[in-house]
Amino acid sequence: MSAPGRAWFECASLLTHEELVVVGDALVGPDGPATADDLRRAIVAGARSAHAARIALDRVRSGVESPMETRFRLTVVDAGFPEPEVNVDVSDDSGTFLGRVDLAWPRLRIGLEYDGDHHRDRPTFQHDRRRSNGFSVNGWILIHATAADASRPAVLLERLRQAFVQRRLEDRSGR
């Protein structure tokens, strides 16, 4: 049985770039069994998949809590947006915790949230709406994504672009 880093490298010839980054994020995530250094050490120089592994490793981030967070992070970066921070704890101006944002550009107060199927039950929906209201009244723009946006991200990316434009306009007007 291979160690986690070695197993990740062994997958480099079998998985797509995105899949390899997803697995890497999971391995170095909050409860993951490896570090980015473990993955780096597992790359065998000169191996057929070494180049692909190195490229994927450059995009692996610790702190990611789900495969969809990774997929959306890669999607927005590949679309030309600055790389977001992952799982950012947000508080209001008085220090009251508002929630954790999956992907965020904190300086701009823009967040991207992935709403998985578990968001369909009534208590979760009500909690999420209450939480979103807290972000809104504290000047955050939250863009919500679903699984459908992963395969067809054009509308999501347009909403994100609009959020960035809105923040640039606010900066120019001195808000």
- pTM over 0.85? The answer is yes
pLDDT digits (tens, 9 = 90+) for 96-143: 999 999 999 999 999 999 987 655 677 777 777 788 888 999 999 999
Report the CATH number that the domain containing residue 125 is assigned in CATH: 3.40.960.10
pLDDT band at 53 (very low <50, low <70, confident <90, very high): very high
Pick the last residue of a domain from 38, 57, 76: 57
Assess whether 71 and 51 both reside in one domain.
Answer: no
Domain that holds residue 34: 4-57
Assess whether 32 and 94 both reside in one domain.
Answer: no
**Helix locations, the chain, DSSP H:** 4-11, 17-28, 36-42, 50-57, 67-78, 122-137, 147-151, 154-173
Asked if residue 121 is part of any domain, the answer here is yes
pLDDT digits (tens, 9 = 90+) for 10-41: 999 999 999 999 999 999 999 999 999 999 99
Helix, strand, or coil (residue 137): helix
Between CA 107 and CA 88 the distance in angstroms is 12
Assess whether 91 and 152 both reside in one domain.
Answer: yes
Asked if residue 62 is part of any domain, the answer here is no
